[in-house]
Chains A and B, each alone.
Chain A
Amino acid sequence: MVEIQNLTKEYGKIRAVDNISFTVEKGEILGFLGPNGAGKSTTMNILTGYISSTSGTVKIAGKDILENPSEAKKHIGYLPEQPPLYMDMTVNEYLDFCANLKSVSSKEWKSQKKDIMELVKITHVSHRLIKNLSKGYKQRVGLAQALVGTPDVLILDEPTVGLDPKQIIEIRKLIKALGKNHTIILSTHILPEVSAVCDRVVIINKGRIAAIDTPENLSKMLADFSRFSVTIAGPQNKVKDILSNLYGVKYLEVSNKMNDDEYSYIIEADKDVDVRKPMFNQLAQNGFPILELKSLNLSLEEIFIQLTTTEAKEVAE
């Protein structure tokens, strides 16, 4: 549905986007992940034809965005980072205008409009001026705008920014639901969003692709150990002895002194070995009670930081 080949965008000497290639299949939700300034928005702006690329091609539904812009743009619904709203219009007027702009026939629009407004839950504010709506509602109107004309491809630039947690969950559900009939590319720097919504992730850093894979594979790929923190009452050297002799423990560190003879430790162990049970038994035998135990999973956050700081593994598809 969306084919991107060797896309590069240069601003003077700065390469905002550096030789990016990937394809998105029909009905797929692709997450576009990267730190601020990584080139996410630039790429999206190129995909939608708002700005041009220096080199490389973008094809939407087989149509080149530069050679055949009008045709290609018909297949795109775009929600930019800042929703493109006319503040002096009511929601109704605005959506009608968008439908006109995208030359949706009035008959088609009549049947579509109600569905779209219900889908993003803005029916009850449809007569209000956009400038009087809250940020969350503005975002929804922006999303509604992208849905006008039921385009095949939805490109959403940070769609949940500025929403409250409840709204975020709603919008994510909505995106998931939309993903059944649309191809969706969404950018974000919020990682849980990716694991919650996306089928596949592109991690981009300094304009380059650092990794492309499913969120699950990315987690597996990088997290080859389990990690937890434990607080134990007992003399440090004795406890340390016990812990380091446990089977599977690869790394041990005293992270904090809580009280006299109460320390917390960070332990990293083989992923296949559960060290918690033997640890409990051993410590109990020696009379050193565990006061607190919590697992520190390698989150997507950390994976992300690893990838974007070292650019270690370049996984091409």
Chain B
Amino acid sequence: MFAIMKRDFRSYFNSPIAYVMIGLFMFIVSFFFNDYLAYGSSDIMSGVISNMSFILLFFVPIMTMRSMAEDKKNGTEVLLLTSPVRVTEIVIGKYLALMGVFLIMTLFTLIFPLILIIFGSPDLALIFSSYLGFILYGAVFVSVGLFASSLTENQIVAAVIGFVSMFTLYAIKFLASFFTGFLYDVFTWLSLNARYNDFMTGIIDLTSIVFMLSFVAVFIFLTVRVTERKRWSQG
């Protein structure tokens, strides 16, 4: 498991992907920061972090698209699947590598709260809860992206599937408004954003944390299933 994590993690940083993504992400986020906080003369980070999670919609699929798809395309999948490592370990290893890249990207954005701390007196607890929310949100997106990547050997297709699924998750609250009664409740309950907004307002709710982590677990499980399914396929 850790062998795979280490290898994948390195490979993201051996290619330009991680650097380009982190650079671009920082570039865009700094615009938001400038706009909201510098011009708005505010020290509340939440708005910026909200926007950061929105741009994740575009960044995560590109980050995750190669994770499983590339192994299939290059035939290295055979190496992994015929090694004594279990499929679950393979998938978790790949997930952790992606999370590593994501966390490093997040680490870079900490420069913004740092600026706030130096030049103002922001609510540190709020920043903490917002970041926690952001990381959990990212964790869910990465698991969705990983799953999308396991469905195909074409990276572009993986990215598109990933983006559409993430967007659906993102917009599910909006979809809920088309329904009433039970379906409305289901969609609202599924909505990541509702829970995410709690974090943005400084509420750390254990159920939300569990909810997000279960989401991750479900998608990792699905990824394992999809990968195993191929072995058992009869057609």
Contact = CB atoms under 8 A, between A and B. Distances in A.
Contact of B74 (A70, A71, A86, A101): A86
B79 A73 contact: no
Contacts, number: 78
Contact of B85 (A11, A48, A80, A101): A101
Given A73-B84, A97-B7, A102-B83, A52 B78 contact: no
Interface residues of A, number: 34
Interface string B68-85: 000000111111111111
A47 to B, nearest CB: 9
Nearest to A98: B79
Contact of B234 (A12, A76, A83): A12
A82 B235 contact: no
Interface in A10-61: 10-12, 45, 48-52, 54
Given A49-B81, A85-B76, A101 B231 contact: no
A248 B231 CA distance: 57
Interface string B96-136: 00000000000000000000000000000000000000000
Contact of A87 (B74, B230, B232): B74
B42 interface: no
B75 A84 contact: yes
Given A86-B7, A101-B4, A74 B78 contact: no
Contacts of A256: none
B207 interface: no
B41 interface: no
Contacts of B232: 51-52
Contact of A82 (B6, B75, B85, B234): B75
A89 interface: yes
B206 interface: no
B82 A78 contact: yes
Given A52-B231, A101-B83, 16 more contacts: A11-B234, A11-B235, A48-B82, A52-B232, A70-B84, A80-B75, A84-B74, A85-B74, A86-B74, A89-B14, A93-B10, A98-B79, A101-B3, A101-B4, A101-B80, A102-B84
14 contacts: A10-B234, A11-B233, A12-B235, A48-B82, A51-B231, A51-B232, A52-B231, A76-B82, A82-B75, A87-B74, A89-B7, A93-B10, A98-B83, A101-B83
Q: Which 3 residue pairs are nearest across A and B when measured between Cβ atoms? A: A100-B3, A84-B79, A82-B75
